[in-house]
Amino acid sequence: MKSYNVSFRKLSSKKIKLNSSKSESNRLLILKALSNNKIKIKNLSKANDTVLLNNLIKSDSNSVWDIEDAGTSMRFLTSYLSINKEGVTLTGTPRMKKRPIKILVDALNKIGSKITYLGNEGYPPIKIEQKVNQIKNSIAIRGDVSSQYISSLLMIAPTLGNGLFIDIKEPFYSKPYVDMTLKLMEKFGIKSTLEKNQIKINHQKYVSGEYYVESDWSAASYWYSIVCINNQIDKLKLLGLRENSFQGDKIISKIMILFGVKTQYEDDGILIKKSKSQLESIELNFKDCPDLAQTIIVIAAFMKIELKLYGVESLKIKETNRLLAMKSELKKIGCNFLDMNNHWILKKRKNKFPKNFILDTYEDHRMAMAFSPLASELNLKVNNPEVVKKSYPNFWKDLLKVGYEIT
């Protein structure tokens, strides 16, 4: 098993060119394919998930599409293939075969596709037996499991002969990701109406255009954490982020004001700076930004803040059950993370961090990156550090640039 020892040596570079947004890139690849390649994408993400999705679309296989561990690709390609291919199978890693797909498959089958399960019902692998022959243009779908089901349906909606009306049932989690999908579609000519969680898209054609992918705000969250935690780093410049971003995780810039890091917007990105925080306890709802939860939990653990978390149910069906993984790793550094049924609570840390911490990453990129800022506070060993390639392949290289040591 590969592992890294991570520590902080001395601040060197104060400027980081972040990776491009995986969320924007993955959506744009599907839109490009649906437009018959009329869309030109610049600054495409180098995240493993995006590279895999791009390669699969280019290969255009008529048999098996192996998604590996890319949950977004599984959901987006299920809809994309349902209007383009018959007789193809979508499969993935053992973990992927435990991640639910039933809500999306049910919706597509109601519209007029025929998709079957090759293993356990409700989970991959699945087979597109028959392309969509539209028999219905209105569906209701739960909004509390994965917004990617909704985004997946939205992107194919204009290609359907009768369009699509989607009624999203409350509670509606991760709505900013659906908003992002609609805004990107609008960039390429698609009009939609959104009222009271009901979205209507008529039959239309995607038009040609060009899009420059923004840097990734969820990746930026780890640098906010570093500025907060590392007492030798008082500011950092993060390149390629926009004040008028489509990404919901831009909310990190507001959340971190509470934890003592301010954001200054500049022409080529943002400058993040240490400020003061008097926080002792806080309640936060992550229903619109679940990917930020692990980062904020680690920051709260460092700052000895009691943190109540709501809206984190979707973390159970990510690369791992992130809530249980966090509970296990936080226990190693003397922190109690408790399930209170309708929310989770991080109790205020009473003792010093241990001298040594061996981090297990659970095949989850965000586990590795969320805990790494603690390397300035203790001797950190990260098991399976290569998991970061899923979303931020240059993460360890970027840590080296600012003065961390990795052996």
Q: Which residue numbers are catalytic?
A: 291
**Single-letter residue type at 331:** K
Question: Do β-strands 379-383 and 3-8 pair in parallel, antiparallel, or remain unpaired?
Answer: antiparallel
Q: Do the Cβ atoms of 228 and 263 come closer than 8 Å? A: no
Residue 125 preceded by cis peptide, ω within 30: yes
Which positions ≥6 away from 37 have C-beta within 8 Å? none
Q: Please tell me the distance from the alpha carbon of residue 10 to that of residue 67, in angstroms, as a whole number.
A: 40
DSSP state letters, 333-387 = TT--EEE-SS-EEEPPP-SPPPSEEEE--TT-HHHHHHHGGGGGTSEEEEESGGG
Enumerate the β-bridge partners of residue 89.
64, 127
Q: Tell me how far the alpha carbon of residue 319 is from its chain's centroid.
A: 11
Three-state SS at 270: strand
Integer Rg of the chain from CA: 21
Torsion from C-alpha of 180, 182, 185, 190, nearest 10 degrees: -160
Q: How far apart are the first and last CA of the chain?
A: 14
Q: Are the CB atoms for 395 and 373 separated by under 8 Å?
A: no
Q: How far apart are CA 206 and CA 191, in angstroms?
A: 10
